[in-house]
């Protein structure tokens, strides 16, 4: 038996098993799947994604890529998701003085739902978390100094 014949038989067997499988026995990609959100930041102080929609409790993987070329200490970017009702401008102001903490002040850690640490040029980071169970609007931002004020912000909308 040739390798090609073996591959053809394997493919036919898989097709037959799928055809005979009862509905519901085949995994639904939406159930239990992780929603992936790819965000790019660059030297122009913008996220390319400013709105993320999710269902309560849905698993989300946010991947942030710093496509900029400027050095990390000048133009590093992070991604911080805050609890609903938190003031992102107040968080950003406090973060500006927290350089040794990656611009994520530990004193405000209770306001943060998820975060990707500071990334330099060409770096990528990510985090997987569950969307809050309570519908609402949850702000996210880059907390490097002046980045929020320049427009690096968005919202996670849970509905």
Per-residue CA distances from 15 to 7, 22, 68, 118, 148 (Å): 12, 13, 46, 47, 52
- Name the pLDDT band for 10 (thresholds 50, 70, 90): very low
What would the DSSP string read from start to end of 69-133? -S-HHHH-EEEEEEPTT--HHHHHHHHTT-GGGTT--GGGGGGEEEEEEEE-TT-EEEEEEEPPS
* 110-124 pLDDT tens trace: 999 999 999 999 999
- Name the pLDDT band for 2 (thresholds 50, 70, 90): low
12-21, 33-42, 95-104: least confidently modelled range: 12-21
Domain span holding position 128: 35-158
pLDDT at 32 over 70: no
The total domain count for the chain is 1
Q: What is the CATH number of the domain that holds 141?
A: 2.60.40.420
Whether 41 and 66 have beta carbons less than 8 Å apart is answered as yes
Burial of residue 106, with CB atoms counted within 10 A of its CB: 0-12 exposed, 13-18 middle, 19 or more buried: exposed
SS3 142: coil
In a domain, 8, yes or no: no
Contacts of 133 (CB under 8 A, 6+ apart): 56, 57
* 44-97 pLDDT tens trace: 999 999 999 999 999 999 999 999 999 999 999 999 999 999 999 999 999 999
Whether 101 and 76 have beta carbons less than 8 Å apart is answered as no
Q: What percent of the chain has pLDDT over 90?
A: 79
Report the predicted TM-score, pTM, of the whole model to 2 decimal places. Answer: 0.79
In a domain, 26, yes or no: no
Tell which phi-psi region holds residue 85, choosing left (phi > 0), alpha (psi between -120 and 50) or beta. left
């Amino acid at each position: 038996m040739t390798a090609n014949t073996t591959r053809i038989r394997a493919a036919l067997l898989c097709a037959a098993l799928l055809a005979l499988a009862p509905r519901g026995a085949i995994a639904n990609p939406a159930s239990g799947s992780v929603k992936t959100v790819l965000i790019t930041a660059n030297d122009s102080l913008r996220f390319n994604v400013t709105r993320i929609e999710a269902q309560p409790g849905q698993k989300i993987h946010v991947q942030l890529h710093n496509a900029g070329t400027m050095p990390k200490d000048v133009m590093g970017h992070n991604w911080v998701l805050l609890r609903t009702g938190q003031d992102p401008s107040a968080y950003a102001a406090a973060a500006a003085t927290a350089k040794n903490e990656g611009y994520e002040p530990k004193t405000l850690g209770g306001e943060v739902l998820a975060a990707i640490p500071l990334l330099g040029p060409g770096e990528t980071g990510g985090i997987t978390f569950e969307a809050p169970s309570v519908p609402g609007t949850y702000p996210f931002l880059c907390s490097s100094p002046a980045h929020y004020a320049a427009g690096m912000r968005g919202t996670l909308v849970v509905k």
